[in-house]
Amino acid sequence: MRTPFDILADYERRSLAHAVALPEVHAGNDQWRGVAYRIGSRRLVSSFDEVVEIVRIPPITPVPGAQSWLLGVGNLRGNLFPVIDLKQFLQGERTVMHEGQRVLVMRQSGGDVALTIDELYGQRSFEAVQSTDPGALSEGRFGHFVSQAFSSEGQAWGVFSLSLLARTPEFRHAAQ
């Protein structure tokens, strides 16, 4: 008579015999990984080290007398933080909010900050050989924050430095 353990072991053996192998992923030292998103027409990525989390936009309380790109103060699990319209800060255009709107939460000295984005693409990985000139991705105000880019599947992805953004004097002083 077979024990329950024998039955489970047999089931596992038969299941593994029919499993489809996943493609091998080689994560070498020359691989760059980050969170991909869109602001306007620019596809950008920021390092995982700079993004604390990605959440739905919380209810926002406006702050009188603040810059127009400071949407207000949000509350996430009891922690208050500013919510910045990143597109308006960089391009002067308001982000069109929609149901399910996501924000990137970044850490800066003094606390977390939420940044609105137009679209979230998720995780992206790039090899060093995919490095390319940022070109148009670094034009205008983006030039201070995008100094490198990667090319993948016909798309250019600018590496957007959230740590540089957090140290920018204008960004740090949202009061008018």
109 versus 171: the higher-pLDDT residue is 171
Contact 74, 83 (CB under 8 A): yes
In the chain, the number of structural domains is 1
With respect to residue 19, please indicate whether it lies within any of the assigned structural domains. Answer: no
With respect to residue 122, please indicate whether it lies within any of the assigned structural domains. Answer: yes
With respect to residue 4, please indicate whether it lies within any of the assigned structural domains. Answer: no
With respect to residue 5, please indicate whether it lies within any of the assigned structural domains. Answer: no
Contact 159, 145 (CB under 8 A): no
Contacts of 65 (CB under 8 A, 6+ apart): 175, 176
Contact 158, 42 (CB under 8 A): yes
With respect to residue 40, please indicate whether it lies within any of the assigned structural domains. Answer: yes
With respect to residue 45, please indicate whether it lies within any of the assigned structural domains. Answer: yes
For 154-174, write each residue's pLDDT tens digit: 999 999 999 999 999 998 887
pLDDT of residue 4: 79
Give the predicted TM-score (pTM) of the model: 0.79
For 69-78, write each residue's pLDDT tens digit: 999 999 988 8
With respect to residue 13, please indicate whether it lies within any of the assigned structural domains. Answer: no
For residue 160, give the CATH number of its domain. Answer: 2.40.50.180
Q: Report the distance separating Cα 23 and Cα 132, nearest Å.
A: 26
Q: Whole domain around residue 113: which residue ranges?
A: 25-172
Q: How confident is the model at residue 117 (pLDDT cuts 50, 70, 90)?
A: very high
With respect to residue 43, please indicate whether it lies within any of the assigned structural domains. Answer: yes
